[in-house]
Chains A and B, each alone.
Chain A
Amino acid sequence: NAGVTQTPKFQVLKTGQSMTLQCAQDMNHEYMSWYRQDPGMGLRLIHYSVGAGITDQGEVPNGYNVSRSTTEDFPLRLLSAAPSQTSVYFCASTPRARYEQYFGPGTRLTVT
């Protein structure tokens, strides 16, 4: 099992560029989520999904899109990057509520 994988590990974007952060898990987990981590603010939920074709917004969804076409993959899209989206992004997955959430290694994104 590779667990939860994220690519890339680091990325630098210019303002206005678009990109997709990839997240994949090989544990057949139904629930997947994206968080961003900013200094002094902890991790905040961006979007989450409870299965293929089902997504919903978290606490800070603006500027981000997600889709879930398969159980394994949950990509996060930035359509027009802004400096305020400079952050560390984590993907996490879990089978259901009573189980532990498994986190990916994170992606450090810098928008200049």
Chain B
Amino acid sequence: AQTVTQSQPEMSVQEAETVTLSCTYDTSESDYYLFWYKQPPSRQMILVIRQEAYKQQNATENRFSVNFQKAAKSFSLKISDSQLGDAAMYFCAYRSDFNAGGTSYGKLTFGQGTILTVHP
């Protein structure tokens, strides 16, 4: 079974600065997907960024980028120019795909989460 570990329960950053959230995972699969989700106080789960394991290029979405190190099984999230609205819980997630009735589906395994505080 896959496991996902976020070793930083809490992180803080000054507004406009850069912060990196860490995530490691364990898997024997060669092809998979990794995600970062944001959960603000509203509880809504919001997809921030995704990375396909077969792609060597790191994913980027505006101020959010990842550092994907496949051999090290590491998937960190970098938030540049941090904003007050970035304050939230962030979850790293691994998707393991399975086949049912000829269609591929994916199950998500989440890390423990990192609470990010942004100071003005």
Which one of A15-23, A37-45, A73-81 is at the interface? Answer: A37-45
Q: Is A12 an interface residue (CB 8 A)?
A: no
> Which residue on chain A has the smallest CB distance to residue B91?
A42
**What chain B residues lie within 8 Å of A92 (beta carbons)?**
45, 108
Contact between B105 and A41, CB atoms less than 8 A apart? no
Contact between A45 and B107, CB atoms less than 8 A apart? yes
| A35 → B minimal CB distance (Å) | 8
Contact between A105 and B103, CB atoms less than 8 A apart? no
Q: Which residues of B contact A (CB under 8 A)?
A: 4, 6, 9, 42-45, 47, 50, 91, 93, 95, 97, 100-101, 103-113
Chosen A-B contacts, 22 in total, with CB atoms closer than 8 Å, are: A30-B105, A33-B108, A35-B108, A35-B110, A40-B9, A42-B91, A42-B110, A42-B112, A43-B110, A45-B108, A45-B109, A50-B105, A59-B109, A88-B43, A92-B45, A94-B105, A96-B105, A98-B106, A100-B47, A100-B50, A103-B44, A106-B43
